[in-house]
Structure 1
Amino acid sequence: MRASPLKSLLWLIAANLAVFLTLAIVGNALIYFVLPLWGIDLRGSIPAHEFAWAMVFGFGGAFVSLLFSKPMARSMYPMQPVIEPKTPKEILVYNTVRELSERAGIRMPEVWVYWDDAPNAFATGPSRNNAMVAVSSGLVELLDDDEVRAVLAHEIGHIANGDMITTTMLQGLMNTFVYFLASMIARIVASNRDGETNFFLYYLVASILQILFGILASIVVFWHSRRREFAADRFAARMVGAAPMISALRKLDAFTKALPAPEEEGAPAQADPLATLKIYNRTGKISQLFMTHPPIEARIAALEALAREGR
């Protein structure tokens, strides 16, 4: 059972307002008070001023999201932490996370479970040594023990590889250029020969360009994300072997294909029940550009190649 949509929406709006106000205060303090003390005066330079603001909002927003990634994830489901595992499934998950994190040389992530029929697992957190792994009841019911271990190894791989921070850095960089380019082009379009700016036109053009550039930037971020999924699969193969990971992916793929289409009676309200495992069946060239995870066939093929190489 998910948290109510209204509660999640209000929480998201409040969080974004808090982020905006915080970044606005920090940005003004940097540009008008802190940087001038170091001989860096951006107050009179429009391009430099715009780029500074773009960096504040681009990287600031990305890192604030990363900083609060754990509480945000916990707000999506009614989760409970596994501190002293009691059931066989809790013991399996807890011991696997502890073992794999020790082998990976990272601090053991927090372990959380939540009740959802959709098989799912995800890892998040601001750093390799401050992370969490969450598992749904549907995942441990669908998969056998070896397959559960493989999925957990995949999630530990994301943490050990530092995927959260590298993705955040890339997202911050993309955000910065989206904001900067959109703002500068909008300023050129909305300014007359006397240097006066039509602010309505400026904000209209900037908003449209941010959407367009944001779509292009997301392609780069999604490409990076797909590469990290292959890396996490390789990590899982090294930790527990390729076979259980392949088996887990096939079961998850079969589960997805067995779901009724959204327009069919009895279809779940959520369009993407595997919201973090991302088991995709789409193979169109355009749709693949906007996938955070590679197609299931490509992941299985890569794992089978590793198995043949004995890795």
Structure 2
Amino acid sequence: MKSFKGIALLVITNILIMVTLAISANILVYFILPMFGIDVRGSFEARQLMFAAVFGFGGAFISLWMSKWFAKRGYKMQQVTNPTTPKEKLVYNTVKALAEREGIKMPEVWVYWDDVPNAFATGPSRNNSMVAVSSGLATSLSDAELKAVLAHEVGHIANGDMVATTLLQGLMNTMVYFAASIIARFVANAVARDGEPSHMVYFIVDIVLQIMLSILASIVIFAFSRKREFKADAYAADALGADAMISALQKIDALSRQSVEWQQREAREDALATMKIYGAHGGMKGLFATHPTIEDRIAALRNRR
């Protein structure tokens, strides 16, 4: 029942977002822009570009604005405000010290229960963010290693990675929506009967193109994400030393390989290897990876020594 409520809430939220964006786009095109002498109501291309920008950037920034809300509901979390255990004190005080070092508002500190060692940072801005740590990470790493991982996450916040990624996502969304609508309109006109474009053809072509172009756009976004991971590693190395970050990465990699999820994934990849779909460190898998390989991250850290 709890999961059903969560799914229902997510669906309702997305419907409200889409309705809000649609209303905003129409108000912008038909009322606000004409007030400034910009009339795109009769131009299909200009109108579609405006709608694409509103939906592309609007959706991306709404997702960013709600990122903390979604994260807290995606895991069984507990916020750390008055740390009591040694590990809680270590996590809280490390994040606080790094935030003071950067002159940013103290991020919210959360812990969640998961044996898989992991941590992440999210939030709409540098001064409105959160850092979450799994119980598996907190209990498996040494104090120095845990501090390094926390520095990596604060590095994402300090570098403004969430906003930068959202801007890129908005730009890619806009290009996808606009290109798909223009091409779909051309195809619909090409198969028109009695001068009437086929609305069904337009709809089908538009949806298919959006899916295809979104996959291509994601390659750019994932490449940007991998680049930001290297920068966050560099931040951790500058703040606490490269050795601690290298040790943390090695231990996280070793622990992850022991998990059932990792073993199942490896079994699937081995089964596909003979088909040459992708390789472990390159090919299609590398293009759609949000993080660089552990080997590449360690190599980059060692080069900073």
Distance 2:216 2:129 in 1: 30
Q: Is the 8 A contact 1:127 1:162 kept in 2?
A: yes
For residues 34-183 of structure 1, the aligned pairs below 5 Å read 34-183=32-181
Give 1:92 deviation, angstroms. 0.5
Which 4+ stretches in 1 moved above 3 angstroms? Answer: 3-8, 260-264
Counterpart secondary structure, 1:55: helix
Give 1:42 deviation, angstroms. 1.2
Task: Give a deviation string over 1:74-114, Cα, whole Å, max 9, x none.
Answer: 01012111111111111000000000111122111011111
TM-score, scaled relative to structure 1: 0.90
Distance 1:142 1:74 in 2: 23
Greater CA drift, 79-88 or 229-238: 79-88
Give 1:8 deviation, angstroms. 3.7
The residue aligned with 1:238 is 238
Q: Is the 8 A contact 1:179 1:210 kept in 2?
A: yes
Distance 1:283 1:8 in 2: 36
Distance 1:282 1:170 in 2: 27
For residues 209-224 of structure 1, the aligned pairs below 5 Å read 209-224=209-224
Q: Is the 8 A contact 2:116 2:259 kept in 1?
A: no
AA aligned to 1:60 is: G
Counterpart secondary structure, 2:304: helix
The residue aligned with 2:282 is 284
AA aligned to 2:229 is: E
Counterpart secondary structure, 2:114: coil
CA 1:124 to 1:195, structure 2 compared with 1: closer, same or farther past 3 Å?
farther
Counterpart secondary structure, 1:306: coil
Distance 2:195 2:171 in 1: 30
Distance 1:55 1:4 in 2: 36
Q: Is the 8 A contact 2:117 2:256 kept in 1?
A: no
Distance 1:101 1:4 in 2: 35
Distance 2:115 2:5 in 1: 22
The residue aligned with 2:270 is none
Give 1:12 deviation, angstroms. 2.3
Distance 2:195 2:125 in 1: 46
Q: Is 1:205 aligned to 2:180, yes or no?
A: no
CA 1:263 to 1:95, structure 2 compared with 1: closer, same or farther past 3 Å?
closer
Contiguous gaps of at least 5 residues in structure 1: 268-280
Distance 1:134 1:156 in 2: 11
Distance 2:81 2:152 in 1: 21
For residues 263-282 of structure 1, the aligned pairs below 5 Å read 282=280
Q: Is the 8 A contact 2:256 2:262 kept in 1?
A: no
AA aligned to 1:88 is: P
Q: Is the 8 A contact 2:83 2:89 kept in 1?
A: yes
AA aligned to 1:204 is: I
Task: Give a deviation string over 1:266-291, Cα, whole Å, max 9, x none.
Answer: x9xxxxxxxxxxxxx93132210000
AA aligned to 2:74 is: M
Distance 2:248 2:304 in 1: 16
Distance 1:127 1:282 in 2: 34
The residue aligned with 1:188 is 186
Distance 1:263 1:112 in 2: 28
Q: Is the 8 A contact 1:27 1:56 kept in 2?
A: yes
Distance 2:131 2:152 in 1: 11
Q: How many residues get paired?
A: 290
The residue aligned with 1:299 is 297
Distance 2:145 2:48 in 1: 50
Give 1:195 deviation, angstroms. 4.9
Distance 2:294 2:262 in 1: 21
Q: Is the 8 A contact 1:8 1:76 kept in 2?
A: no
CA 1:262 to 1:305, structure 2 compared with 1: closer, same or farther past 3 Å?
closer
Distance 2:4 2:156 in 1: 31
CA 1:293 to 1:195, structure 2 compared with 1: closer, same or farther past 3 Å?
farther
Q: Is 1:247 aligned to 2:236, yes or no?
A: no
Distance 2:304 2:195 in 1: 61
The residue aligned with 1:278 is none
Give 1:43 deviation, angstroms. 0.7
AA aligned to 1:51 is: L
Calculate the aligned-residue CA RMSD, in Å: 1.7
Give 1:241 deviation, angstroms. 0.4
Task: Give a deviation string over 1:61-81, Cα, whole Å, max 9, x none.
Answer: 000000111001101012111
